[in-house]
């Protein structure tokens, strides 16, 4: 059974049918580096924030919620009402460092930021990106971090969106698809049992290794069977056409929707002219978000299918506690 607070927050972050159609732009250092690769002058903090607000302004109206970061996205989008009181808002808690292979990264959370502060500012969910391999030396540290955030989210009655990303222990090689699926299934079982609320998952087949949609469906069905909680598909940097195909298959297999970033808005990164950027965001990117919403409407499973609603007894509030 879900709690009253988590039920309220998840309802605000989903459609009336219980589907996630969430736009993600919580990318930080790696996104800034991409912008500066083609910019005539480097982006300062204000310009970087303005880019994020351009994307949020165009796509939030077509999303059930927005996932963005505290430094460059949250404050500006709330105060400008690009994310209004009816729109779901998710926030990350991790520091990301893509300069190191996942096997070399330690878990680092954003300083001066917490589950408590996400609740205080009106957030609807907490997201943690977690590079994951069950045989890595750092795996216990990862488990400890997840368990702490599970506890914090229980205290403040906020949904915990965990994003475990399988990686190869060999920095020179990608995971073969068989191992990718094995780890994907194992992590779904492990983290569902730890008490996370939603799993934000990469596609369990590397499209560069296989374009066989029957294999894709079988892998997604295996992941769905392993999930004890609702799950949504992330785009993981694939192009839009690939992600749309993956989204339909994942939703048919049991996913409750999508949490999508670069697959929808990546081309805006190279459009430094404001009008060109707006033209892309208001037309092509918006159409992509709308198409994904249709895919979710037609094929996704409601997040409520995997969890019971809170009690509606008259005295529910007497025993309600975080």
Domains of the chain: 4-311 (3.20.20.70)
Q: Are 9 and 315 in contact (CB under 8 A)?
A: no
Global pTM value: 0.96
Q: Where residue 107 falls among pLDDT bands split at 50, 70, 90? A: confident
| Residues 2-33: tens digit of each pLDDT | 999 999 999 999 999 999 999 999 999 999 99
| Residues 238-262: tens digit of each pLDDT | 999 999 999 999 999 999 999 999 9
Q: What per-residue confidence (pLDDT) applies to 322?
A: 57
Distances (CA, A) of 322 to 139, 156, 317: 28, 6, 11
Q: How many CB atoms lie within 10 A of CB 151?
A: 12
Looking at the chain, list the stretches that DSSP marks H as alpha helix, in order from N- to C-terminal side: 4-12, 29-38, 45-59, 75-79, 115-120, 139-156, 177-194, 213-226, 240-253, 262-265, 274-280, 286-299, 316-319
């Amino acid at each position: 059974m879900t709690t009253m607070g988590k039920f309220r927050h998840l309802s605000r972050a989903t459609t009336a049918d219980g589907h996630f159609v969430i736009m993600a732009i919580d990318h930080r250092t790696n996104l800034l580096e991409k912008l500066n690769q083609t910019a005539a002058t480097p982006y300062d903090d204000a310009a970087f924030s303005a880019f994020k607000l351009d994307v949020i302004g165009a796509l939030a109206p077509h999303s059930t919620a927005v996932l963005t970061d505290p430094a460059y996205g949250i404050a500006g989008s709330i105060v400008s009402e690009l994310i209004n009181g009816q729109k779901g808002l998710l926030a990350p808690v991790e520091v990301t460092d893509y300069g190191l292979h996942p096997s070399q990264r330690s878990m680092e959370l954003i300083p001066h930021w917490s589950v408590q502060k996400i609740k205080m500012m009106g957030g609807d969910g907490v997201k943690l990106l977690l590079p994951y391999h069950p045989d890595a030396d750092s795996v216990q540290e990862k488990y400890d971090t997840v368990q702490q955030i599970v506890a914090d989210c229980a205290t403040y009655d906020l949904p915990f969106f965990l994003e475990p990303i399988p990686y190869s222990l060999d920095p020179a090689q990608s995971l073969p698809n068989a191992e990718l699926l094995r780890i994907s299934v194992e992590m779904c079982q492990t983290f569902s049992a730890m008490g996370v609320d939603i799993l934000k998952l990469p596609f369990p087949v590397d499209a560069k290794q296989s374009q066989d949609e029957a294999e894709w469906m079988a892998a997604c069905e295996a992941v769905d069977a392993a999930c004890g909680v609702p799950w949504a598909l992330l785009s993981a940097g694939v192009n839009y056409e690939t992600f749309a195909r993956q989204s339909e298959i994942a939703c048919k297999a049991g996913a409750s929707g999508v949490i999508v970033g670069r697959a929808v808005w990546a081309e805006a990164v190279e459009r430094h002219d404001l009008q060109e950027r707006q033209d892309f965001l208001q037309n092509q990117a918006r159409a992509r978000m709308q198409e994904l919403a249709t895919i979710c409407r037609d094929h996704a499973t409601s997040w409520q299918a995997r969890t019971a609603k809170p009690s509606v007894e008259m005295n529910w509030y007497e025993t309600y506690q975080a």
